[in-house]
Amino acid sequence: MRDYELIRSKRKTIAIQAKDGKLIVRAPMRATKKEIEATLARFDPQIQKMLAKNIALAEQRAAFSLNYGDSVLYRGKKYPIVARSGNRVGFDDARKEFYLPPNLPPERIKAGVVQIYKMLAKRHLSERLLHFQPVMGVAVTDFHITNAKGRWGSLSGKKSVNFSWRLIMAGDDIIDVVVVHELAHIKQFNHSDKFWAEVEKIIPDWREREKRLKDFNHRINAQNWDVDWETAAKEESAMFTGDNLAFRWHFAVYKTILSSKNGMNIYRGCLHGCIYCDSRSACYQMNHDFEDIEVKRNAPQILDDQLRRRRLPCMIGTGSMCDPYIPLDDKILYTRQCLEVIEKHGFGVTVLTKSVRVLRDLDVLKRINEKAKAVVQMTLTTYDENLCRVLEPNVSTTAERFHALEVFRDNGISTVVWLCPILPFINDTEENLRGILDYCIRAKVTAIMDFGFGVTLREGDREYFYKKLDGHFPGIKQKYIGAFGNAHSCSSPKEKRLTEIFTETCNRYGIIHGSNKVFAYLNKFPDKSGQMSLFDMEDYLNGGEY
């Protein structure tokens, strides 16, 4: 008789399994040894085959190892692993290669590749979730990447979805069917006909794809991707710093979205990468990476609920701390949905952004403007397009923003330009100021918001800014340290002259200026009901744009 491990349980039948080359028998509590061994004898030919297959698989898994030059799967295609100096790991989208520090042993290479897979899985699967959720009319509450080996995905009772990082090795067709499968469970919890009908609405060939998923499962099972993270973490520099961090997001639960001053930030965090961004400051207590966007879950519904309870309409402001038109918004459309809620309740809105993505919502902004009031505000810091790409690398350039201002003007929506920050020793030139003012005059902006000519620096923001100065403007950091030390407010040495030019130009062209007057203009709700509403200017003064 063969050796076997016996596991008794409340089950009703005898089950025979092969694991790591060993035979495992699961039997009911009352099954006798004689009955168990009779079953083993009866199925001996099948058991022999099963064991042989399992031993071959165990050998394959034991032989699996990775080295530089090997290729590994990513979204169904193979890409090489290369050594690159430094201590970073990542996937180079341009060169199409996995890169790791040099001279690592195979186990550490595997750990590094798994780390890259996790980052890539988070990035790609979050994109697919954002794509399929509106299409299927469902929404998850949270999303995690797990180490699960036996399950590609799972959904909790609270609609939080998990995916195994291993899924990122599969082709896009397989990844999508797993994502849709989990999302369909939000509507149908079991695997009934109704459930598969939901899947079929989105993926008509789901049967073929599920078969391919099974084949893929066998392939991946033959590779031992297990990493002993505990041991790896004990080794010095075993854990790497990861690249490819773009486009990360997570949901956070909020009960309200409007501040006491009627300001609203749908997102916390931003991908626009402005080197001077004040929202990175420690005082805002973001307990997540700035690039890992916190999305206020159900923001439009929460806003709807809050506005419904209001007796009088007023102006709602958005964008003071984090830009509402980050790339993620194109997928999730929360900003547009919030504008629609504002329109529905007859409130007014002021939107502050650096992205021409705001043009996407021109129609709804026009409707708000017809019923109440809509103002589009754009920040302009430099008229030099090349400098703009350095200061604000991931968002529309100044020329693009200027064209957006013209579109809003032509559609009867008033516009305000935020002339800040003016960075001492960088963009605090007369030429730059005149260039921006020229854009403002041509775009016929209603007002220009200014806070003097300088920049504010605080803990968190200052470190990031200085790091970027070292990268782009060698020697300027030292000038800042010498001139301002740890001061919060860093004014340009040319402030007096710049203020003269600014004031003279605004007066000549009838442009509202001076922060108090501009805030008063922004906060004034049109007097259709004899009411006027002000939301506190501090909302803006404390915001992320300065």
CB-nearer residue toward ligand SF4: 270 or 448: 270
Query: Among residues 213 and 266, whose Cβ is nearest to ligand SF4?
Result: 266
Alpha helices in 345-460 (DSSP H): 362-371, 385-391, 398-410, 430-442
Residues 373-402 that bind ligand SF4 (CB under 6 A): 395
Using CB under 6 A as the binding rule, the residues of this chain from 317 to 356 that contact ligand SF4 are 322-323, 354
Q: How far is the CB of 325 from ligand SF4 (least distance, A)?
A: 9
Q: For the CB of residue 437, give the shortest distance to ligand SF4 in the complex, in Å.
A: 21
Cα separation, 98 vs 242, in Å, equals 11
Range list of H helices, 147-244: 172-187, 193-202, 206-221, 229-234
Q: Does 279 bind ligand SF4 (CB under 6 A)?
A: yes
Residue found by looking up tokens 């064209």 in the block: 403
The pairs formed by 463-472 with CB atoms below 8 angstroms and a separation of 24 or more are 464/275, 464/277, 464/280, 465/275, 465/276, 468/275, 469/275, 472/275, 472/390
Q: Is 545 one of the binding residues for ligand SF4 (CB under 6 A)?
A: yes
Span from 158-166, 175-183, 265-273, 530-538 in contact with ligand SF4 (CB under 6 A): 265-273
Site for ligand SF4 (CB under 6 A): how many residues?
A: 12
Task: Please name the amino acid found at residue 376.
Answer: V
Counting other chains too, the contacts that 53-61 makes at CB distance below 8 Å and 24 or more residues apart are 53/18, 54/18, 54/19, 54/20, 54/21, 55/21, 57/221, 57/222, 58/20, 58/21, 60/222, 60/223, 61/221, 61/222, 61/223, 61/224
Kindly state the smallest distance separating residue 323's Cβ from ligand SF4, in Å: 4
Nearer to ligand SF4, 198 or 545 (CB): 545
Q: Closest Cα to residue 212, out of 254, 176, 250, 251?
A: 176
Shortest Cβ distance from residue 353 to ligand SF4 (Å)?
7
Is the CB of 352 or the CB of 437 nearer to ligand SF4? 352
**Residue 313, preceding bond cis, omega within 30 degrees?**
no
Least distance in angstroms from the C-beta of 273 to ligand SF4:
6
CB closer to ligand SF4, 112 vs 460 = 460
Distance in angstroms (rounded) separating the CA atoms of residues 146 and 472: 38
The window from 266-274, 330-338, 356-364, 426-434 that contacts ligand SF4 (CB under 6 A) reads 266-274
Close Cβ partners of 496 (under 8 Å, ≥ 6 residues apart): none
E strand residue ranges, 195-314? 241-242, 248-252, 263-264, 267-268, 292-296
The strand pairing partners of 83, in sequence order, are 100
Binding status of residue 440 toward ligand SF4 by CB under 6 A: no
Q: Which stretch binds ligand SF4 (CB under 6 A): 61-69, 97-105, 270-278, 383-391?
A: 270-278
Q: Could you count the other beta carbons within 10 Å of the beta carbon of residue 530?
A: 5
Residue 203: DSSP 8-state: -
Q: At what angle do helices 206-221 and 193-202 cross, to 10 degrees?
A: 90
Which residue number, 123 or 272, has a Cβ lying nearer to ligand SF4? 272
Decide whether 176 or 461 has the Cβ nearer to ligand SF4. Answer: 461
How far apart are alpha carbons 102 and 88 in whole angstroms? 10
Least distance (Å) from ligand SF4 to the CB of residue 461? 9
List strand residue ranges (DSSP E) for 10-164, in order. 15-19, 22-28, 71-74, 77-83, 88-92, 97-100, 142-146, 153-155, 160-164
Over the window 216 to 255, marking each residue x when it contacts ligand SF4 by CB under 6 A and - when it does not, the resulting string is ----------------------------------------
Burial of 41 (0-12, 13-18, 19+ CB in 10 A): exposed
Question: Least distance (Å) from ligand SF4 to the CB of residue 423?
Answer: 12
**Beta carbon nearer to ligand SF4, 39 or 279:** 279
Q: Residue 28 or 273: which CB sits closer to ligand SF4?
A: 273
Binding of residue 272 to ligand SF4 (CB under 6 A): yes
Point out which span in 12-20, 148-156, 271-279, 522-530 binds ligand SF4 (CB under 6 A). Answer: 271-279
275 binding ligand SF4? (CB under 6 A): no
Tell me which residues in 4-33 interact with ligand SF4 (CB under 6 A): none
Cβ proximity to ligand SF4: between 418 and 525 the closer is: 418
Q: Provide the angle, in degrees to the nearest 10, between the axes of the packed helices 398-410 and 430-442.
A: 30
Whole-number minimum distance, CB 205 to ligand SF4, in Å? 41
The HSE-up count of residue 459 (CA atoms within 13 Å, CB side) is: 5
Q: How far is the CB of 358 from ligand SF4 (least distance, A)?
A: 12
Provide, rounded to whole angstroms, the least separation between the CB of residue 475 and ligand SF4.
24
Q: How far is the CB of 271 from ligand SF4 (least distance, A)?
A: 7
* Rg of the Cα atoms in the chain: 29
371 binds ligand SF4 (CB under 6 A): no
Using the contact rule CB under 6 A, the part of the chain among 109-117, 143-151, 242-250, 272-280 near ligand SF4 is 272-280
Asked if residue 419 binds ligand SF4 (CB under 6 A), the reply is no
Chain centre to alpha carbon of residue 150 = 27
- Asked whether position 270 contacts ligand SF4 by CB under 6 A, the answer is yes
Is residue 274 part of the contact set for ligand SF4 (CB under 6 A)?
yes
Minimum CB distance to ligand SF4, residue 207 (Å): 45
Q: Which of 36, 66, 119, 277 lies at the binding interface for ligand SF4 (CB under 6 A)?
A: 277
Considering beta carbons, is residue 199 or 448 the nearer one to ligand SF4?
448
Sites of contact with ligand SF4 (CB under 6 A): 270, 272-274, 277, 279, 322-323, 354, 395, 544-545
